[in-house]
Amino acid sequence: MTRIASLLAHGRTYSFEFFPPKTEEGRRHLAQALIDLQPLQPSFVSVTYRGGPASREPTHDLVAGMLKTTALNPMAHLTCAGHSRLELADILVALRKAGVDNLMALGGDGPAAGELPHAVELVELARAIGGFSIGVAAHPSVHPRSPSRELDRDHLAAKLRLADFAVTQSVFSLEEYLGLIDELAARGVDKPVLPGIMPITSLSSIERQRELGAVVPADVEERLRSARDVRSVGLGLAAELCQALLDAGAPGLHFITLNRSSATREIWESLAVHR
């Protein structure tokens, strides 16, 4: 098991994100994605957390299973939403006992409020328990619930000062990512920020990205809507962006797979990534 902070200190990381499946078909898709992507030897993989007690066992079991049965280096997501401080502490201790060293600390968007209202407080709790390399989320287009851009960046800078690194929501523009880095630098924060990559392979996902608070640039949307083969164009745009991000000095790439392997593999291969 390797701490992500140490990996980032030694060079770029390339990582994949998965979610715990709910159905037997979903479990088959995930198993196949893991088989397909493990040979790429990612620096780490992350496992999402939907929020509340219902997510506790699925995320823990998937992360613990990866440690036991694969060569993957997993990071567990955890959200404040729907949990008391004691429940969060219990989850963190259970993750450490299972051998998990890497944590993504999130506020969460669940319907039930938690005892800890903000992700920064979960970072503080994880630090108190000890042993974790801690990541936090960043929104290049500003969190949908933020009252202003300035406050959004202030809050991000505050939690990133306590954490080791950040992973962004989906990035669709180099300028947007670099703007985020500049805004953090202006606040004295230079921790690594990994851009999240999720290629658009259908027109319906454009609206989905808006719902998640990501901005698809007008020129990108126009190219996709005028394309005969949306998937091919979407993968090409994502590959171009990945290369531009690396050329601009991004500390790595974090691929949001949706438990599928083909899009990630195609982008990876087009980049000819050698680590």
User: How many residues are given for the chain?
Assistant: 275
Measured CA to CA, the distance from residue 59 to residue 44 in angstroms comes to 15
∠ at Cα 6 (246, 272), nearest 5°? 30
Instruction: Identify the CA nearest to 7 among candidates 203, 194, 171, 155.
Output: 194
Give Cβ neighbours of residue 143 (< 8 Å, ≥ 6 apart).
Answer: 152, 213
Upper half-sphere CA count for residue 198 (Cβ side, 13 Å): 21
Instruction: Tell me which amino acid residue 17 is.
Output: E
Q: Which residues are known catalytic residues?
A: 17
Measured CA to CA, the distance from residue 127 to residue 70 in angstroms comes to 27
Q: Is residue 44 left, alpha or beta, with left meaning phi > 0 and alpha meaning psi from -120 to 50?
A: beta
Helices (H), the chain: 4-10, 24-37, 53-69, 85-97, 119-129, 149-162, 174-185, 204-211, 218-225, 230-247, 262-271
